[in-house]
Structure 1
Amino acid sequence: MKSKQESVSSFQMASLLLTFTTGSSVIFIPGQITNAAKNGAWISILISYLLGVMILAILIYLYKRAPELSWVGFMRKTAGPWVTSLLLIPLTFVIFWQLAAIVIEIGGFFKSTMMKDTPNSIIQGLFFLTVALTARAGIEVMARMFLLLLIFMYIFVMAVLLLASPLFHGEYLLPVIPDGFKPILYGAYISYGFPYAEIALFSLLLPFTRRKESGRLTKYLHLALFINCLTLVFSILCTIMVLGPMSGHLNYSLFQLARLISIQDILERVESVIGFSLIIGVYMKAAIVLFMITTLLSDWFNIKDSRLLTYPVALIGLLLSVSMYPDEITFFVDGYTMWTLIDHTAYVMPLLIIFVVALFRRKKGGTSSPTAASSSQNGKP
C-alpha cells in the first residue's frame, strides 16, 4: 500500500461534495427541471435527492470497510482485477465526457450572455488551463480554496434571490401538479442524473479523508447533500414565483431573474453577480472532476505521481469539448435526455455491484473487511 501524500478533514470533504453537487446545478437545474415538471419541479428535486441519499449511504458504507484503500484498490480486493477493469472502462470514458460537458456548459453561457463574439475554443482553452493548474495543486489546496469560493457563491446567489423578493408572486406556484405526476417523475429523472447520480464519483475522493476524522464524515456529508437539496428547491421556487410559466423556457433562469432586479435606479445589472457565481461554480466542479480522473488513472495503472497526468487529461478534455457537439442545442438535448442513463450505468451501477459483492462475501464469511490483506494492494488515494 502506498502512503497517502495528501489528506483533508471530514468537513473539507463535505464542502467538496457541496461544491461538486451545487457548483453548476444551482444555475442550470432550475430552468431545465421547471421545463420538465412545471410547478412541481421542487417535488422532482426531493425525489432525486432521496435517491442521492441512498447512493451516499452506500458510498460511506463501502469506504468505512477499508478507509485506507483507494476505490480502485477496494474494487480489486472485493471483485478481482478483471471485474474491476470491466467496470472502470465505461466509467473512464464517461467521466472524460463529463469533464468536457462541464466546460461546454460554461462556453455556451459565455457565448449566449457575455462574450458572444469570442470563439468557444478560446474560452474553453483558457478555462481548461485554469482548471488544470488548480487540479495539479492537489486536493488539500482545492479544499481550502474552494471553501472560500463556495461561501462567496452562496452569498451571491442568496443575495440575488432576496433582492428579487419584491417580484415574487405566490400564485405562480399553483397548481402544484398541473399536468399530473408523470412530468414530475421526468423532472426527477433529469435531476437524478445531474447532480445526484454523480455523487458515486466521490468514491475516488473519500480515501483522502483523514482517518482520525472519519467518524464525523457521515454527518457532514449528509448535511452537505441536504444543503444542496434546499438550495435547489429554494432556487426553483424563487424563479417560478418571479418568472412564472416562462421559468421553464429560459436557459440560466437565475441569470434571467437577476436581470429583472432594479432598485431605484441605484442597484442594477445584478446578473453579473450570478454570472460570477456560475463561473466559479463550474470552475470548481471541473477542477474536482479533473482531479478525480487523474486519481482514477494513477490508481488503475499504478502511476506514483498522479500530477503527471493532469495536463494530458486536460488536453484530451479540451479536444473533446470543441469536437463532441456541433451546437448548444444538440448538447442540451443529448445531455438532459441521455445524461441520467449514462451516469447511472457508468457511475452508480459499478458502486451497486461492488456493494452487493461486498455484502455477499461478508455473509459467506469471506473477507469481513478488505483491510486485512490491503498491504499488497494499491491503496494510494
Structure 2
Amino acid sequence: MEYQPKGVVGVIAPWNFPINLAFDPAIGAFGAGNRVIIKFSEFCPETGELVKKLVAEYFAPEEMTVITGGPETGKAFSEIPWDHLIFTGGGGIAKHVMAAAAQNLTPVTLELGGKSPTIIGPDADIQKSTQRIAMGKMMNAGQICLAPDYLLVPQDKEDAVVEGIASNVAEQYPTLIANDDYTSVINGRHKERLQGLIDDALEKGAKQTIVNPGDEDFSNTNSNKMPLTVLQNVNDDMRVMQEEIFGPVLPVKTYRNLDEVIDYVNDHDRPLGLYYFGETESDKRKVLDRTISGGVTVNDVIFHIAQHDLPFGGVGPSGMGAYTGPDGFKEFSHAKAVYRQPKINIAKIAGFLPPYGAGTEKTMKQQMKL
C-alpha cells in the first residue's frame, strides 16, 4: 500500500475557533501532500481578512489560499469538485454541504456537534468534577462543539453538584460583564435563541439557577454576554434537551443507576464527546463499553481533542471521518493498493488459468475448508 495526496482539499472553518479549526485540518492535508483552500466564516470577518493577508504573504496561491464571504460564497465553495472537503459546524448546514458534495461524489469529513453528555458517577469527587465542568462550560461562553451540553447526576447529589458549579464559576469569574476572561455570545440572534431555550424550559416546569457572581445587571448593557443558567427538572419535551445548546446554559438530569444513564444516552443521537467522572474502574468500563461517541474524556471535559495522537471526529449525527495526527494523514490521503506479481505463474498453479481441471478442483476444495 502506498499513501498518495488526494489533490486539493477544501476547508470550511467555523467562527468559534477560526484559527484552530482552519489550520488543524490544513496541517493534516499538508502533511499528506495536498494543497488547501480555506473558507473563513463571515461571523469573524477581521480574523478572516487578517489570515487571508498573512497566507498570501507566506504561501504561494497554488499551495494555500484563503477566501472569505457569506452564505452564498459558502454554498458555491461546497459545490466545487474538491478532492476532499472538510466542514466544521452545525448539523443543519452540514446536510446542505454533504448534498452539494454528493453532486460531485466529493469525499467529505464532517465535524459537527450535538449534545455531549457529562456523567457524574456515583463515587465522583464533586468539587473536582464541578470545577472542571465549570471551566469547560464557561470557556468561550459554552460556544464549543465539545462543551458539556447537559449533566447526568445521581439523585442524592443534585444539589451538591449545582452548588459546586455555581461556586466554581464564581471562583473562576468573580464578575462577567467587564471581565476579559469571559467572552460574549457571538451575536444578538444567538443570544435570543439561548434565552428562548431558557424560557421554553421554564414554561414547561424547569427550575433555574442564574450564576451571576458579581450580581451584575445584564439587562442594562448592550453586550451579548450572558451569565450561566443552570436548569433542573428538565425533560425531553423541552427544546433545551432537544437542540445543541452552544452557549452558557446547563441542564441537569438526575438518575438512580448507571444502567439508566446508559439507556438514556443510547436513546439519543450519538454525541461528539462524552464525559465521565468517577473512580471505580468497572463503572468507567461499563460506560465506555456500552455507549458510542466521537470521543471520551474521563475525569475532565473537552481535553481529548488536545491529544494530537488521538483521532478527533464524530459518529452519526455528530460527524463522519476523523483527523489530527496519524489519522489526519490517513484522512487526507488515498491509500493505493499496489501488488507486485512474482515471476512464477500463480494463476496456473492455483488453477485459475483455463482450461480448468484438477488444479482448479484442488484449489476449490482448499478454499471450502477455510
Question: Normalized against structure 2, the TM-score is what?
Answer: 0.22
> Higher RCO, 1 or 2 (CA under 8 Å, sep at least 6)?
1
